[in-house]
């Protein structure tokens, strides 16, 4: 049973670490700003635009089609940066060397059925 207890302890530790990583991932955001700093976009962890800032000067500087293209570009840039940050967080994720088969649960179930 000592091996089983150690494995359960390790699974609990991994579950706690994975929950920490899940929370960190869910809170990630990324912001991209135009070169002239007149337009900025923030995306959330799912890559959805959650904030768009357009300075009044941008409305004078850009035609509607240009502003639309700029927003699309900024969203893509923010999403690309977000994916890089996501990869960094996941790189710190623990290896999951344990397999549920290691627990011998199939033997426990078989013993209970007899």
Quote the CA–CA distance of 53 and 94 in Å, as a whole number: 38
Q: Which two tokens stand for residue 45?
A: 């962890």
pLDDT of residue 90: 84
pLDDT of residue 104: 52
Whole-prediction pTM value? 0.70
Which homologous superfamily is 2-94 in? Nucleoid-associated protein YbaB-like domain (3.30.1310.10)
User: What are the backbone angles phi and psi of residue 44, rounded to the nearest 5°?
Assistant: -90, -170
pLDDT digits (tens, 9 = 90+) for 33-77: 999 999 999 999 998 999 999 999 999 999 999 999 999 999 999
């Amino acid at each position: 049973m000592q091996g089983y207890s150690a494995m359960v302890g390790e699974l609990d530790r991994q579950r706690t670490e994975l929950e920490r990583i899940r929370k960190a991932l869910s809170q990630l955001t990324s912001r991209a700003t135009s070169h002239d700093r007149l337009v900025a976009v923030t995306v959330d962890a799912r890559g959805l635009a959650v904030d768009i800032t357009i300075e009044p000067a941008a409305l004078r500087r850009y035609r509607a089609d240009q502003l639309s293209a700029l927003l699309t570009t900024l969203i893509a840039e923010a999403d690309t940066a977000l994916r890089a940050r996501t990869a960094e967080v996941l790189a710190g994720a623990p290896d999951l060397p344990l397999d549920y088969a290691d627990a011998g649960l199939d033997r426990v179930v078989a013993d209970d059925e007899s």
